[in-house]
């Protein structure tokens, strides 16, 4: 990797109300610069997406999926869209079909999550993970990601799309979501059942659960707003049986970097492409399966051959854009613990200890790329403003009136 990796950027902003200045044109330019020529004739090209669940339609628009699939075919590859079996099965509800995408849609791990490859991980309480067979067998990878917030790591981008979406459900839900519990946080001997119940009551986010029969208090880390909140610690100050540590949240992000590395290593370095759609940025993941308010202004599309660089650039642009204050849902009750501290928008939502930059740091440590990037804006508003607009014509394509 060179010191500063190029990240191509197409802004939603445009210098003219003309097709040449719009995001579709920028997308095609970005694909040209990303250069799919390293895809070989007949390569099976996995376009890994999050196809959403249920009512969660705020994913990568099928319009862009078609652009990518066509470009792969033009390069000689055989593209297919892939995601977990559940999302694939009902993808049609959100507009994704072979016809609309321009290529087949194949479950990442078989019909019932059985097409898997066990890989050794040896990280904390996770010995192995089951990688989806498609991730293992495909020849080239296009990581096509809808950027959004996330309960656990506060930011879901290209790394999360692979780290969780590239694995079978048992690995995703029980192992990666579960690594945080490898770090002790509760002293059962110091805590009476009554005190445990008081702690549960003190949490405004349903972040603590208590099993009286087993006398076990569990932190639901995805729900926990950690340093933005800490109301449980206030309730615990005279007993001191509970801890909320940054390490809980760091462990999840480190395991994401490790899981991503395992997937990426199954592909030739010249056959990995990363596109982040920083559009319709919701506070939580597409896994929620529902529509959510858009909490960050529309940004655009970013792309690179370096997963770390594209994530870093995306995070920086989100930071620059900030939160749309009026769009923050009322169930985020602690969003500004210290106005003097400049927090990333996703930290403001999900808690100071869920730092979105951790995952790129871990990914860099894993050798997946560099955080040093050069943003190359294509068809910038300044540039397109100087271009001569054509006479506006409606219905330029085959017309039916």
Rounded to an integer, what distance in angstroms lies between the CA atom of residue 277 and that of residue 341? 28
Return the number of the residue (123 or 205) whose C-beta is nearest ligand SF4: 205
What Rg, from alpha-carbon coordinates, does the chain have?
22
Return the number of the residue (210 or 277) whose C-beta is nearest ligand SF4: 210
Check residue 352 for interaction with ligand SF4 (CB under 6 A). no
Return the number of the residue (48 or 334) whose C-beta is nearest ligand SF4: 334
Rounded to an integer, what distance in angstroms lies between the CA atom of residue 21 and that of residue 11? 10
Q: 22: buried, middle or exposed (CB in 10 Å: 19+, 13-18, 0-12)?
A: middle
Check residue 225 for interaction with ligand SF4 (CB under 6 A). yes
Assess contact for 325 and 273: CB atoms under 8 A: no
**Contacting ligand SF4 (CB under 6 A), which of 7, 34, 134, 230?**
230
Considering only residues 354 to 393 of the shown chain, the ones binding ligand SF4 according to CB under 6 A are none
CA 135, 138, 141 angle in degrees (round to 5)?
Answer: 75
**Contacting ligand SF4 (CB under 6 A), which of 10, 166, 207, 345?**
207
Return the number of the residue (53 or 205) whose C-beta is nearest ligand SF4: 205
**Contacting ligand SF4 (CB under 6 A), which of 7, 135, 159, 232?**
232
**Contacting ligand SF4 (CB under 6 A), which of 205, 277, 362, 373?**
205
Question: Interface with ligand SF4 by CB under 6 A: which range of 71-79, 186-194, 230-238, 274-282?
Answer: 230-238
Give the number of other Cβ atoms within 10 Å of residue 336's Cβ: 11
**Contacting ligand SF4 (CB under 6 A), which of 176, 203, 264, 313?**
203
CA 365, 367, 372 angle in degrees (round to 5)?
Answer: 80
Check residue 50 for interaction with ligand SF4 (CB under 6 A). no
Rounded to an integer, what distance in angstroms lies between the CA atom of residue 147 and that of residue 153? 13
Rounded to an integer, what distance in angstroms lies between the CA atom of residue 168 and that of residue 149? 22
Check residue 146 for interaction with ligand SF4 (CB under 6 A). no
**Contacting ligand SF4 (CB under 6 A), which of 208, 251, 263, 315?**
208
Binding mask 169-188 for ligand SF4 (x = CB under 6 A): --------------------
Question: Interface with ligand SF4 by CB under 6 A: which range of 60-68, 88-96, 197-205, 269-277?
Answer: 197-205
Return the number of the residue (165 or 207) whose C-beta is nearest ligand SF4: 207
Q: Binders of ligand SF4: how many residues, by CB under 6 A? A: 14
**Contacting ligand SF4 (CB under 6 A), which of 88, 219, 257, 310?**
219
**Contacting ligand SF4 (CB under 6 A), which of 152, 217, 244, 250?**
244
Check residue 151 for interaction with ligand SF4 (CB under 6 A). no
Assess contact for 149 and 278: CB atoms under 8 A: no
Return the number of the residue (52 or 222) whose C-beta is nearest ligand SF4: 222
Listed residue (256, 266, 271) closest to 366, CA to CA? 256
Residue 88, C-beta contacts closer than 8 angstroms, at least 6 positions apart = 51, 82, 105, 106, 107, 108
Name the region of 379 (left: φ>0; alpha: ψ -120 to 50; beta: rest): left
Return the number of the residue (219 or 303) whose C-beta is nearest ligand SF4: 219
Question: Interface with ligand SF4 by CB under 6 A: which range of 61-69, 152-160, 229-237, 295-303?
Answer: 229-237
Angle between helices 62-74 and 23-34 (to 10 degrees): 30
CA-CA-CA-CA dihedral for 121, 110, 159, 343, to nearest 10: -100
Question: Interface with ligand SF4 by CB under 6 A: which range of 222-230, 281-289, 296-304, 379-387?
Answer: 222-230
Output the CA torsion sign for 164, 165, 171, 172: positive
Rounded to an integer, what distance in angstroms lies between the CA atom of residue 401 and that of residue 393? 14
**Contacting ligand SF4 (CB under 6 A), which of 231, 298, 372, 377?**
231
Check residue 48 for interaction with ligand SF4 (CB under 6 A). no
Rounded to an integer, what distance in angstroms lies between the CA atom of residue 116 and that of residue 81? 18
**Cβ burial 321-330 (10 Å sphere, 16+ → b, else e):** eebeeeebee
Check residue 88 for interaction with ligand SF4 (CB under 6 A). no
Binding site for ligand SF4 (CB under 6 A): 202-203, 205, 207-208, 219, 224-226, 229-232, 244
């Amino acid at each position: 990797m060179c010191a500063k990796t190029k990240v191509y950027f197409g802004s939603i902003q445009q210098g003219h109300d003309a097709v040449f200045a719009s995001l579709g044109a920028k997308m095609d330019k970005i694909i040209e610069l990303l250069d799919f020529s390293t895809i070989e004739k007949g390569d099976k090209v996995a376009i890994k997406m999050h196809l959403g669940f249920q009512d969660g339609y705020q994913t990568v628009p099928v319009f862009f999926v078609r652009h990518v699939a066509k470009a792969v075919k033009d390069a000689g590859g055989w593209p297919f869209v892939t995601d977990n079996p559940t999302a694939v099965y009902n993808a049609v509800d959100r507009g994704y079909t072979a016809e609309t995408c321009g290529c087949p849609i194949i479950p990442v791990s078989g019909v019932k999550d059985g097409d898997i490859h066990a890989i050794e991980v040896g990280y904390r309480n996770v010995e192995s993970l089951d990688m989806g067979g498609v991730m293992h067998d495909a020849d080239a990878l296009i990581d096509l990601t809808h950027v959004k917030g996330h309960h656990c790591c506060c930011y879901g981008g290209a790394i999360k799309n692979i780290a969780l979406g590239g694995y079978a459900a048992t690995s995703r839900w029980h192992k990666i979501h579960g690594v945080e519990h490898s770090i002790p946080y509760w002293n059962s001997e110091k805590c009476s059942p009554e005190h445990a119940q008081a702690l549960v009551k003190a949490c405004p986010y349903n972040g603590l659960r208590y099993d009286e029969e087993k006398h076990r208090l569990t932190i639901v880390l995805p729900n926990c707003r950690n340093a933005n909140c800490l109301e449980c610690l206030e309730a615990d100050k005279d007993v001191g049986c509970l801890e909320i540590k940054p390490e809980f949240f760091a462990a999840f992000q480190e395991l994401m970097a490790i899981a991503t590395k395992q997937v990426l290593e199954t592909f030739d370095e010249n056959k990995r492409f990363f596109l982040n759609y920083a559009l319709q940025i919701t506070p939580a993941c597409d896994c929620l399966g529902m529509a959510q308010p858009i909490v960050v202004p529309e940004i655009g599309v970013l792309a690179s051959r370096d997963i770390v660089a594209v994530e870093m650039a995306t995070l920086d642009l989100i930071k620059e854009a900030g939160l749309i204050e009026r769009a923050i849902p009322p169930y985020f009750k602690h969003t500004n613990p210290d106005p003097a501290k400049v927090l990333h928008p996703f930290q403001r939502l999900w808690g100071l200890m869920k730092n979105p930059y951790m995952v790129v740091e871990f990914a860099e440590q894993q050798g997946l790329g560099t955080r040093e990037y050069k943003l190359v804006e294509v068809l910038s508003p300044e540039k397109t403003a100087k271009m001569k607009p054509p006479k506006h014509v409606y219905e330029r394509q085959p017309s039916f009136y």
